[in-house]
Structure 1
Amino acid sequence: MSSNSSLPSSIPLPSSTLTPVLTLPTITLLLDSTLIAYIALNNRSGNVNLMNQQFVEDLDACLDWLEAGFMPAHQHASTVGKAASGPTETLQSQLKRFKEMKKQRKEQLKKSDVNVSNVDPRHTNVQCVVVLSEKESWMVGADIFGLYGITDGKLATQISREGQKVLQRLSELKIPTVAAINGTALGGGLELSMACKYRWCANDSSVQLGLPEIQLGVLPGAGGCVRLPRLIGLEEAMKLILAGGSMRPEKAHKLGLVDELIDSKDRFPDDHRFFKNVRNKVVKMVDGGSFPKSHEHSGGWLEEFWAGRYLMKRTAKQNLDKMTRGNYPAPYAALDVLLYGYKSSVPDALKYEAQRFGQLAETQVSKNLMSIFFLRENAKKMSTYIKNPNVKPMEVKRISVIGAGVMGSGIAQLFANKRTPVYLKDIKQEFVDKGLKQIRDAFEKQVTKKRSTPQSAEQKIGMVVGGIEYVPLGDCDVIIEAAVENMNLKKRILQDCEKNTPESTIFSTNTSTLSITELATVSKRPDKVVGMHFFNPATVLPLVEIIRGAKTSDETVATIYQLSLKLGKIPIVVNDGPGFLVNRILGIYLLEAMRMIQEKYNIEHIDTALKDFGMPMGAIRLIDEVGLDVASHSGDTLEVLGERFKKDDKGKENMKKMLESGSLGHKTGKGFFMYDKDGKMQGLNPRLKKLAGYDHSRAKNIKAKTVVNRCVLPMINEAAYILDEKIAKDAGTVDTGMVFGTGFAPFRGGLLAYADSLGVDQVVTRLQKLEKKYGNRFKPAPLLLRMAKNGEKFFPQRVNVGSKKGSSAQSKL
Structure 2
Amino acid sequence: MGLADVVVDPAALETVAVETARALAEGSLKGKRKGKGLLQKVLEDTSMGRSIVYGQTEKMVAKNTGGHYPAPTAILDTIKYGFTHSKPQALEYEATRFAELAATSVSAALRGIFTGTTALKQSKYGKPANPVETVAVVGAGLMGAGIAQVTAEKGYRVLLKDKDLAGVSRGEKYISDNLKGKMKKKRMTKYAYDTTTSRVVGLTDESANWGKQFGKADMVIEAVFEDLSLKHKVIQQLEEHLPPHAVFASNTSAIPIARIAEASRRPENVIGMHYFSPVPQMPLLEIIPHKGTSNAAAAAAFEVGKKQGKTVIFVKDVPGFYVNRCLGPYLVETGALMEAGVPLEQLDKAIKAYGFPVGPITLADEVGVDVAAHVQAFLSKADLGVRMGGSDGPILDALLKAKLLGRKAGKGFYTYPAGGKKEKGPKTLNPEATSLVQKYVKGESKLTDEEVQNRLVSRFVNEAVFALQDGVIASPVEGDIGAVFGIGFPPFLGGPFRLIDAMGAGKYCSMLEGFAGKYGEQFAPAPLLVEHAKSGKKFHQ
Fold equivalence (TM over 0.5): yes
Kept in 2, the 8 Å contact 1:688–1:695? The answer is no
2:453 aligns with one of 684, 703, 708: 708
3-state DSSP class of the match of 1:413?
Answer: helix
Q: Which residue of 2 aligns with 1:446?
A: 182
Q: Hey, what's the Cα distance between the residues in 1 that align with 2:55 and 2:458?
A: 37
What is the CA deviation profile of residues 697-724 of structure 1, one whole-angstrom value per residue up to 9, with x for unaligned ones? x842312332122112222221222122
Alignment partner, residue 283 of structure 2:
542
CA distance in 2 between counterparts of 1:302 and 1:393 reads 62
Residue number in structure 2 paired with 1:291: 29
Whole-Å Cα distance in 2 between the matches of residues 787 and 279 of structure 1? Answer: 57
Q: C-alpha distance in 1, partners of 2:370/2:138?
A: 21
CA shift, 1:489, in A, is: 0.6
- Aligned partner of 1:735 in structure 2 is 480
Q: Which amino acid aligns with 1:745?
A: P
Check conservation: 1:379, 1:571, Cα contact below 8 A.
Answer: yes
Offset at 1:747? 0.8
Q: Does 1:371 align with 2:112?
A: yes
Q: In the alignment, which residue of structure 2 is the partner of 1:551?
A: 292
Deviation string, structure 1 residues 163-212 (Cα, Å, up to 9, x no partner): xxxxxxxxxxxxxxxxxxxxxxxxxxxxxxxxxxxxxxxxxxxxxxxxxx
Q: Structure 1 counterpart of 2:191, which letter?
A: Q
Alpha-carbon spacing, 1:342–1:514, altered in 2? closer, same or farther (3 Å): farther
Are 2:337 and 1:582 equivalent residues in the alignment? no
* Alignment check: 8 A CA contact 1:663 1:671 kept: yes
* Structure 1 partner of 2:166: 430
Aligned pair partner of 2:95 in 342, 349, 354 = 354
Q: Distance in 2 between matches of 1:689 and 1:427?
A: 37
Letter in 2 for 1:673: Y
Indicate yes or no: 2:2 matched with 1:255: yes
In 2, Cα distance between equivalents of 1:373 and 1:614: 19
Equivalent pair of 1:375/1:736 in contact (CA under 8 Å): yes
One-letter identity of the residue aligned with 1:785: V
State the 1:277 CA deviation: 4.0
Q: Does 1:718 align with 2:463?
A: yes
Q: Give the C-alpha shift of residue 745 in structure 1.
A: 1.0
- Give the counterpart of 1:642 among 357, 372, 385: 385
Question: Does the CA contact (< 8 Å) of 2:332 and 2:391 recur in 1?
Answer: no
CA distance in 2, matches of 1:657, 1:695: 10
Change (3 A) 1:279 1:703: closer
Structure 2 equivalent of residue 76 of structure 1 = none
The CA RMSD measured in Å over matched residues stands at 2.4
For the residue of structure 2 that corresponds to 1:575, the secondary structure is coil
Tell me, yes or no, if the aligned pair for 1:414 and 1:567 is still in contact at 8 Å: yes
Q: Kindly indicate whether residue 359 of structure 2 is the aligned counterpart of residue 618 of structure 1.
A: yes
Q: Which residue of 2 aligns with 1:596?
A: 337
The structural deviation recorded for 1:738 is 0.2
Any idea what SS the aligned residue of 2:315 has? strand
What is the SS of the residue equivalent to 1:382?
Answer: coil
Distance 2:43 2:23 in 1: 40
- CA distance in 2 between counterparts of 1:538 and 1:486 reads 21
Indicate which of 383, 393, 406 corresponds to 2:142.
406
1:748 alignment partner in structure 2:
493
Tell me the percent identity: 37
Structure with greater helix percent: 2
Is 2:174 the counterpart of 1:457?
no
Larger radius of gyration: 1
Question: 1:436, 1:499 → 2: CA distance?
Answer: 26
Distance 1:570 1:434 in 2: 28
Q: 1:773 to 1:285 in 2, by over 3 A?
A: closer
Moved more, 506-515 or 722-731: 722-731
**Among 224, 231, 254, the residue aligned to 1:490:** 231
Structure 2 CA distance for aligned equivalents of residues 342 and 477 of structure 1: 61
Quote the Cα distance in structure 2 between the aligned partners of 1:623 and 1:286: 59
How far does residue 599 in structure 1 lie from its aligned partner after superposition?
1.0
**Amino acid corresponding to residue 319 of structure 1 in structure 2:** M
1:655, distance to aligned residue in structure 2 (A) = 2.7
Q: CA deviation at 1:374?
A: 1.0
Is contact 1:590-1:620 (8 Å) kept? no
Change (3 A) 1:306 1:647: same
Q: 1:757: which partner in 2?
A: 502
- Equivalent AA in structure 1 for residue 500 of structure 2: A
TM-score of the aligned structures, taking structure 1 as reference length:
0.61
Q: Is the 8 A contact 1:606 1:618 kept in 2?
A: yes
Matches within 5 A, 1:559-578: 559-578=300-319
Which residue type is aligned with residue 402 of structure 1? V
Q: Provide the C-alpha distance between the structure 2 equivalents of 1:525 and 1:339, rounded to a whole number of angstroms.
A: 66
CA distance in 2, matches of 1:557, 1:738: 22
What is the match of residue 530 of structure 1? Answer: 271
Structure 1 alignment gaps of length 5 or more: 1-253, 266-272, 798-813
Is the Cα–Cα contact under 8 Å of residues 23 and 29 in structure 2 kept in the other structure? no
Structure 2 gaps, min length 5:
205-209
- Residue 56 (structure 2) pairs with residue 315 (structure 1): yes
**Which residue does 1:607 correspond to in 2?**
348
In structure 1, how many angstroms separate the alpha carbons of the residues matched to 2:93 and 2:35? Answer: 22
Corresponding residue for residue 676 of structure 1: 417
Q: Describe the shift of the 1:472–1:339 C-alpha distance in structure 2 as closer, same or farther (beyond 3 A).
A: farther
Tell me if structure 2 keeps the 8 A contact 1:491–1:522.
yes
